[in-house]
Amino acid sequence: MDRPTTGPHRRRFQLGRATIGAVIAALLTAFFTVTPAHAADGQITGLAGKCVDVAAANSANGTPVQLYDCNGTNAQRWSNPGDGTLRALGKCLDVASGGTADGTPVQLWDCNGSAAQQWALPAARDIVNPQANKCLDVTGNNSANGTRLQIWTCSGGANQKWSSPGAGGGTGGNPSGFVVSEAQFNQMFPGRNGFYTYNGLTQALSSYPAFANSGSDTVKRQEAAAFLANVSHETGGLVYVVEQNTANYPHYCDWGQPYGCPAGQAAYYGRGPIQLSWNFNYKAAGDALGIDLLNNPWLVQNDSAVAWRTGLWYWNTSTGAGSMTSHNAMVNQAGFGQTIRTINGSLECDGRNPSQVQSRVDAYQRFTSILGVSPGGNLYC
> Catalytic residue numbers?
234
DSSP one-letter code for 374: -
DSSP-based three-state secondary structure for 63 = coil
Classify burial at 381, counting beta carbons within 10 Å of its beta carbon; exposed 0-12, middle 13-18, buried 19 or more. Answer: buried
Classify burial at 197, counting beta carbons within 10 Å of its beta carbon; exposed 0-12, middle 13-18, buried 19 or more. Answer: middle
Asked if 224 contacts 323 with a C-beta cutoff of 8 angstroms, the reply is no
CA angle 368, 115, 228 (to 5 degrees): 15
- C-alpha pair distances (Å), 221 with each of 182, 195, 256, 316, 364: 14, 24, 41, 16, 11
| Interatomic CA distance for residues 322 and 346, integer angstroms | 9
Torsion region of 293: left, alpha or beta (phi above 0 gives left; psi -120 to 50 gives alpha):
alpha
Residue 296 identity: N
Strands annotated E in the chain: 3-4, 10-14, 17-19, 39-42, 51-54, 65-68, 78-80, 87-88, 91-95, 106-109, 128-129, 134-138, 149-152
